[in-house]
Amino acid sequence: MTLTHSAPPRRHPSGAPARRSGRPSPALFSRRLSPRGLLWLAPAVLILLSFVYWPLVQNFAFSMTEWDVYTGTQEFVGLENFSRLATDPVFQRSLLNNLLYAGLSLIFQVAGALLLAVVIESRRSERLRRALRAIYFVPSAISLTVAGLLFYFIYEPKLGMLNHLLEAVNLGALAQPWLGQESTAMLGIIMMSQWQGFGYSTLLFAVAIQRIPRELYEAAEIDGIGPVRQFFTITVPLVREMSGLMVIVTISGAFQVFNEVMVMTSGGPNNSTQVLGTWLYHNGFSRNDFGYAAAIATVIFVVTISIGLVQMWYTKRRRVQW
Amino acid sequence: MVSKGYFFAVIGRVFAWTFLLGLAVIVIYPLLWMLLNGFKTNSELFANPFALPQQFSWQNYVNAWNRGVSNYVTTSVLVTVTSTIATVFISAWAAYGLSRVKIPFSKFWTGFILGGLMLAPTVALVPLVKLMQALGLYNTFWALLILYTAFRIPFTTFLIRAYMIDLPFEIDEAAEMDGASRWKTFWHIILPMCTPILVSTVLLHVLFAWNEYIFAMVFTNGTGVEPLPVGLTSLMSKHGTDYPVVFAGMAIAAIPVLVLFFASQRYFVKGLSEGVGK
């Protein structure tokens, strides 16, 4: 599972292809500016323009209108939809749920996954390491829909595995309708999501750890430095780039949550599991309140684009060298 | 002193093993439970969810297949195959143009195409529904094909471009001096050299298209064009409490991607680890 095919080496240092460099080659079209070369981009650019960027611009316009469901006419209302957002308790609840999602995912899918990757990579047998990484990744390969339905059944009060398990170990008093009550529903969904996603980040951390030169650990070993200090003085600093990326990707993902909530609770009970995505869907497609849905979409856009810009800035910084 | 260190080493190993095995059980057991429940009768399932099925009968799988899953699978296969082909080709062209042809304003175009990575699908949902309705594509297979392609072009282009940039430019010049056109250079030389990353992008796109939910749910509305993920939820709502059939449907959805993953792990890992830096 190590990276077996790396890209071919970069172009030769100036000395190597000497047989060509002496040749006059002004006529080569591959060296000239080629406006026709834009044709290579044309399909991608046209599709992105029509189905990604244009709807995005339209969304801003929609967010300042109110639609009449019966006549289909739009009316410009300025920022009214946004001021409605500010006083909408379900919107606030959704935002908090997205934040809770981000927080717990950071604990399990960044911190937890890093620790797990270290434990895996410190096993001696390569076959064992590969098997462990693959097993933990399995839930990430199946869809969130299947995982969500599966956990819907696991949490189900009558036939669900969880309550039966609690009864089997004499903790039957703790058995409850996990997704059916406000106090536990959101946590239930988030924990399903951790189950589904931790193997993915563990795999990525394992790849980052494999890139750390073994000699560093051997030297630490000789100096009598224990595994805990090795973790903090070698592993953590040298996988910093990956950790940073995982933090960003995880937070961004937490604000785009939709699938698992829709499958497991559709935002209920009593809107306690609404997140921005499902609240948008509910307003746009159950209530046909398109303007309001577009305003929620704008909020998601602002959050994710800000995180995206942080990520761009982060990856452009100098990489950790060793 | 030595024995004390040894003692802690043993404790550490036992602890690590318990942790790793416990986690493996937490991952595997629910999946096993899902597969086994697909073989049970409904009364068996309600009587004792942990028990093994009395007999392994494929009846639930047959029922699931006949109650719509065959349609969902057909749609899913069709959308997955066509959108994979469209996405990978369009992205490979764009990646070639961005990385190996001197185009005017190349920085702008790179930003334009890769900038799409930052946009969440939910953001454009309302206008997209209006657009697809206006084009008469709402509730058709075409809506999914177009959207799966459009929203994955940035990511796929990003991966292929990063790989193409590292190929030496002498290749293109040598091909040109031998009389190859741009198209021939792309098709016969550069593209074959990119096979490893192309395999990774194909796999990642298949995984995406097979599992995608939000577009599938919003843009298909019954009438036999829903792909599997949406089909599963309607199987669930239509057939009330015949849960073993739902479990069988879930297994049918999960097994193809699992087989694909185990058959091609290293390409997955390559694609995933390159892609996280998007």
Provide the pLDDT for residue A19: 45
Contact at CB, B277 and A52, closer than 8 angstroms: no
User: Whose structure tokens read 């390969």?
Assistant: A141
Of A38-52, A111-125, A166-180, B127-141, the one with minimum mean pLDDT is A166-180
Quote the CA–CA distance of B43 and B111 in Å, as a whole number. Answer: 58
Contact at CB, B250 and A263, closer than 8 angstroms: no
Minimum distance, in Å, between the CA of residue B157 and any CA atom of chain A: 9
The DSSP letter of residue A111 is I
Beta partners for residue A255, in sequence order? none
Select, from the ranges A218-222, B90-94, B166-170, the one with the highest average predicted confidence (pLDDT).
B90-94
Task: For residues A155-179, give the mean pLDDT.
Answer: 86
Confidence band for A17, pLDDT divided at 50, 70 and 90: very low
Q: Which residues contact B51 (CB under 8 A, 6 or more apart)?
A: B44
pLDDT over 50 at A321, yes or no = no
Minimum distance, in Å, between the CA of residue B85 and any CA atom of chain A: 13
| φ/ψ bin of B224: left (φ > 0), alpha (ψ from -120 to 50), beta (otherwise) | left
On average, the pLDDT of chain A sits at 86
> How far, CA to CA in Å, does B144 sit from each of A9, A50, B17, B128, B208?
39, 15, 45, 11, 12
Provide the pLDDT for residue A41: 96
B20 contact residues in A (CB cutoff 8 A): 119-120, 123, 132
pLDDT over 80 at B153, yes or no = yes
| φ/ψ bin of B41: left (φ > 0), alpha (ψ from -120 to 50), beta (otherwise) | beta
Is the CB of residue A266 less than 8 Å away from at least one CB of chain B? no
Beta partners for residue A66, in sequence order? A75
> How far, CA to CA in Å, does A86 sit from each of A147, A299, B126?
34, 11, 21
B196 contact residues in A (CB cutoff 8 A): 5
Quote the CA–CA distance of B48 and B38 in Å, as a whole number. Answer: 14
Provide the pLDDT for residue B157: 95
- Of residues A83 and A313, which shows the higher confidence score? A83
Q: Are A68 and A290 in contact (CB under 8 A)?
A: no
DSSP states along A160-202: -HHHHHHHHTT-GGG---TTTSHHHHHHHHHHHHHHHHHHHHH
Task: For residues B30-46, give the mean pLDDT.
Answer: 88
What structural domains and CATH numbers belong to chain A? 80-145+197-316 (1.10.3720.10)
Quote the CA–CA distance of B263 and A141 in Å, as a whole number. Answer: 12
> How far, CA to CA in Å, does B161 sit from each of A10, A20, A97?
14, 26, 37
Minimum distance, in Å, between the CA of residue B244 and any CA atom of chain A: 11
User: Whose structure tokens read 């990575």?
Assistant: B117
C-beta atoms surrounding A187 within 10 Å: 14
Provide the pLDDT for residue B3: 66
Provide the pLDDT for residue A88: 95
Provide the pLDDT for residue B201: 92
Residue-wise pLDDT tens digits, A245-268: 889 889 999 999 999 999 999 998
Note the pTM of the prediction, 2 decimals.
Answer: 0.87
Please return the burial class of A162, using the count of CB atoms within 10 Å of its CB with bins 0-12, 13-18 and 19+: buried
C-beta atoms surrounding A87 within 10 Å: 8
Which token pair is B235? 């199987």
Task: For residues B31-52, give the mean pLDDT.
Answer: 85
Closest-CA residue to A2 (of B153, B26, B267): B267
| Cis peptide leading into residue A269 (ω within 30°) | yes
Is the CB of residue B207 less than 8 Å away from at least one CB of chain A? yes
B129 contact residues in A (CB cutoff 8 A): 284-285
Of A14-28, A116-130, B26-40, B119-133, the one with minimum mean pLDDT is A14-28
Residue-wise pLDDT tens digits, B9-24: 788 888 888 999 999 9
Minimum distance, in Å, between the CA of residue B154 and any CA atom of chain A: 9
Which token pair is B123? 């953001």
Provide the pLDDT for residue A68: 76
Residue-wise pLDDT tens digits, A111-148: 999 999 999 998 888 899 989 999 999 999 998 999 99
Residue-wise pLDDT tens digits, A26-71: 567 777 888 888 999 999 999 999 999 999 999 999 999 988 777 7
Q: Are A155 and A178 in contact (CB under 8 A)?
A: yes
On average, the pLDDT of chain B sits at 89
Residue-wise pLDDT tens digits, B170-207: 898 899 888 888 899 999 999 999 998 999 899 999 99
Residue-wise pLDDT tens digits, B109-118: 999 999 888 8
Closest-CA residue to A129 (of A2, A4, A241): A2
Beta partners for residue A67, in sequence order? A74
Task: For residues A302-306, give the mean pLDDT.
Answer: 92
- Of residues A303 and B41, which shows the higher confidence score? A303
Element (H, E) at A67: strand A65-67
Provide the pLDDT for residue B186: 94
Provide the pLDDT for residue A264: 95
Which of A59, A144, A158 is facing B123, going by the closest CB pair?
A: A59
Select, from the ranges A16-25, B231-240, B242-251, the one with the highest average predicted confidence (pLDDT).
B242-251
B230 contact residues in A (CB cutoff 8 A): 145
pLDDT over 50 at B66, yes or no = yes
Residue-wise pLDDT tens digits, B208-231: 999 999 999 999 977 778 999 999
Provide the pLDDT for residue B2: 53
Which of B102, B113, B243 is facing A32, going by the closest CB pair?
A: B102
Is the CB of residue B203 less than 8 Å away from at least one CB of chain A? no
Quote the CA–CA distance of A289 and A88 in Å, as a whole number. Answer: 14
Closest-CA residue to B131 (of A51, A226, A80, A125): A51
Contact at CB, A30 and B169, closer than 8 angstroms: yes
pLDDT over 70 at B277, yes or no = no
Provide the pLDDT for residue A144: 92
Provide the pLDDT for residue A2: 37
CA atoms within 13 A on the CB side of B226: 18
User: A residues 10-69 near B, CB within 8 Å?
Assistant: 10-12, 17, 20, 25, 28-35, 37-41, 43-45, 47-48, 50-56, 58-59, 62
Contact at CB, B213 and A143, closer than 8 angstroms: yes
Quote the CA–CA distance of B57 and B55 in Å, as a whole number. Answer: 6
Say what the ipTM of the complex is.
0.90
Task: For residues B79-86, give the mean pLDDT.
Answer: 97
Minimum distance, in Å, between the CA of residue A55 and any CA atom of chain B: 5
Which token pair is B115? 């900038």
Residue-wise pLDDT tens digits, A266-298: 998 999 999 999 999 999 999 889 999 999 999
